[in-house]
């Protein structure tokens, strides 16, 4: 528990995009996008107060680390050496960095302005089981084109896997309802099948002729529960290996479109994978508007390395291991288009 209330930061760009964050978890609390008709649309799920975030386990809006997503059997493997990490989420595995991951840390606000904030965090050797001290910074910056840039940097004192991301849930509709009515495209021809505990089976699979084919825009509802793979997570909660063109950020990793077509969002990233989670376990999470969210109230689009990558060096992506003397640098850019 933290003794003092979180510090809130309010960013606003000249084109009217606004973003509210807090230092606890370097968390996004609210994002409002101006539409051409003069209205503003809230696009993030959020709790009614900063204190209420402690009442949810959905990682709403949080910065995730040291390693996003799941590590099977709570272990990592490097150069033949297996290192245990701390399990959590009531399982033998580790999820999103462990029971005291970066989403639960008070980040330092190193600098801030009307359009930018720079958070920093130090993570000790052995923190949640991870080797080496890690120093990281996350810059969140509003652009002049209805955009949000996130820039991640990290350094370590011993070889360690690093995978930092943001875990916001998006709903671009005017009246947030079932987000499966959104259209989504993902620039990926392969996805990662998982077992019933959502741990990767070890091989990539083609999206062709499956419900995981989002190469052309479609609603999430269209092929909902079409595949046996979706039974594992009661819907979509899978990683997609992004097409190589995405790495240079010329091609969006994903495009999400509101059901009324008045608002869309492009996600660009240098990271090799995208976890798409349709929010089917959001039931009961305290909602900003009062009451609680229902299942599938929002969609998480989390750029990252493939889950369990520290144990799968054979996968066709850059190494997720950061070595002393190297600098982890990755970007996630969000661009909204309003009508």
Conformational region of residue 315, where left means phi above 0, alpha means psi within -120 to 50, and beta covers everything else: beta
> With contact defined as beta carbons under 8 Å apart, do 316 and 309 qualify?
no
Q: Which residues are part of the catalytic machinery?
A: 167, 302
SS (H, E, C) the chain: CCCCCCCEEEEECCCCCEEEEECECCEEEEEEEECCCCCEEECECCCCCHHHHHHCCCCCCCEECCECCEEHHHEEEECCEEEECCCCCCCCCEECCCCCCHHHCECEEEEECCCEEEEEEEECCCHHHCCCCEEEEEEEEECCCCEEEEEEEEEECCCEECECEECCEECCCCCCCCHHHCEEEECEEEECCECCCCCECCCCEECCCCCCCCCCCEECCCCCCCCHHHHHCCCCEEEEEECHHHHHCCCCCEEEECCCCCEEEEEEECCCEEEEECCCCCCCCECCCCCECCCCCCEEEEEECCCCHHHCCCCCCCCCEECCCCCEEEEEEEEEEEC
Q: Cis peptide leading into 269, omega within 30 of 0?
A: no
- State the Cα–Cα distance between residues 96 and 36, nearest whole angstrom: 37
> With contact defined as beta carbons under 8 Å apart, do 265 and 255 qualify?
yes
> With contact defined as beta carbons under 8 Å apart, do 338 and 262 qualify?
yes
């Amino acid at each position: 528990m933290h003794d003092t209330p979180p510090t809130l930061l309010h960013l606003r760009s000249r084109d009217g995009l606004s973003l509210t964050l807090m230092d606890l978890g370097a968390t996004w609390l609210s994002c409002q996008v101006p539409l051409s008709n003069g209205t503003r649309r809230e696009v993030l799920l959020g709790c009614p107060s900063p204190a209420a975030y402690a009442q949810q386990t959905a990682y709403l809006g949080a910065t995730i680390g040291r390693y996003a997503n799941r590590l099977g059997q709570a272990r990592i493997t490097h150069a033949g050496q297996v290192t245990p990490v701390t399990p959590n989420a009531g399982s033998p595995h580790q999820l999103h960095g462990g029971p005291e991951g970066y989403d639960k840390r008070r980040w330092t606000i190193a600098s801030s302005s009307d359009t930018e904030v720079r958070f920093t965090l130090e993570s000790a050797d052995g923190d949640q089981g991870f080797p080496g001290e890690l120093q990281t910074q996350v810059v969140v910056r509003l652009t002049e084109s209805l955009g949000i840039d996130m820039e991640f940097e990290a350094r370590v004192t011993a070889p360690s896997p690093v995978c930092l991301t943001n875990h916001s849930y998006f709903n671009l509709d005017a009246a947030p309802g079932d987000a499966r009515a959104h259209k989504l495209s993902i620039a990926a021809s392969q996805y990662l099948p998982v077992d019933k505990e959502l741990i990767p089976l070890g091989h990539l699979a083609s999206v062709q002729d499956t419900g995981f084919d989002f190469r052309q825009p479609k609603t999430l509802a269209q092929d909902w529960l079409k595949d046996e793979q979706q039974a594992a997570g009661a819907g979509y909660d899978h990683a997609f290996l992004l097409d190589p063109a995405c790495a240079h950020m010329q091609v969006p990793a994903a495009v999400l479109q509101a059901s009324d077509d008045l608002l869309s969002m492009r996600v660009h990233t240098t990271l090799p994978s995208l976890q798409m989670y349709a929010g089917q376990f959001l039931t009961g999470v305290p909602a900003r508007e009062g009451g609680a969210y229902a299942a599938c109230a929002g969609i998480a689009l989390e750029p990252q390395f493939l889950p369990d990558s520290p144990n799968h060096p054979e996968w066709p992506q850059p190494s997720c291991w950061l070595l002393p003397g190297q600098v982890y640098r990755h970007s996630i850019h969000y661009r909204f288009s309003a009508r």
